[in-house]
A and B are shown apart, each in its own frame.
Chain A
Amino acid sequence: AQSVAQPEDQVNVAEGNPLTVKCTYSVSGNPYLFWYVQYPNRGLQFLLKYITGDNLVKGSYGFEAEFNKSQTSFHLKKPSALVSDSALYFCAASYNNNDMRFGAGTRLTVKP
């Protein structure tokens, strides 16, 4: 079945340190991959997407993600974390015009 996995429920980093939020997807054709962020009691905000082309995608708020086809991964990264980055992050994949499938989410906590 087509699915998205976020292996970490929680990621904790210190402010100023680099952060990585992991995401892997099941192999089934060529998915479109997305990252969204959700703040408490809010909808999802788009961060970035991978459609084709350069494997390194740059998005909003200094985030970037690297598409790795051999590892079927699309990890979210940021060189220097901010306390305000603390939120819930969702990876999502869309296959062949089907609905978007979401990972379980990873709660990022950035401590001062």
Chain B
Amino acid sequence: GAVVSQHPSWVICKSGTSVKIECRSLDFQATTMFWYRQFPKQSLMLMATSNEGSKATYEQGVEKDKFLINHASLTLSTLTVTSAHPEDSSFYICSARMGRPSYNEQFFGPGTRLTVL
């Protein structure tokens, strides 16, 4: 149980285009989803926290107009990288947290490798 999927697993796009990444909780309802970014050989950096039906809360330094997050249902959150540039190339990981008390445990997706040419 508690499986989180991400799609696509990898994507290559041209500079200036927009890319959408989906994060789904497959067997539970996730009231809260998180988006992380990970650079090579570095730890996870929290980008934003999204709660179903409300606007995402972005971490300091993360451009909300560039990284659009939508959490339209209890099982789906999307991250759209708008007007992507090479510096946006990274590994993006989502996680989901159950609504019931779960000691804040997060279940992680497999990640999406974004390469912007």
Contact = CB atoms under 8 A, between A and B. Distances in A.
Interface in B25-81: 34, 41-44, 46, 49
A79 to B, nearest CB: 26
B103 to A, nearest CB: 5
A49 B108 contact: no
Contact of A32 (B41, B91, B104, B113): B104
B21 interface: no
B44 A102 contact: yes
A42 B93 CA distance: 9
> Interface size bucket, B side?
20 to 34
A107 B40 CA distance: 12
A102 B36 CA distance: 11
A99 interface: yes
A41 B34 CA distance: 18
B21 to A, nearest CB: 13
Interface string B84-104: 000000010101000000011
Interface in A26-81: 32, 34, 36, 41-46, 49, 51
B91 A90 contact: no
B49 A105 contact: no
Most chain A CB neighbours (cut-off 10 Å) among B4, B42, B103, B113:
B103
A104 B6 contact: no
B34 A43 contact: no
B107 A46 contact: yes
22 contacts: A32-B103, A41-B91, A41-B113, A42-B110, A43-B4, A43-B108, A43-B109, A43-B111, A44-B44, A44-B93, A46-B107, A51-B103, A94-B103, A94-B104, A98-B104, A99-B46, A100-B104, A103-B43, A104-B43, A105-B41, A105-B42, A107-B41
Interface of B: 4, 6, 34, 41-44, 46, 49, 91, 93, 95, 103-111, 113
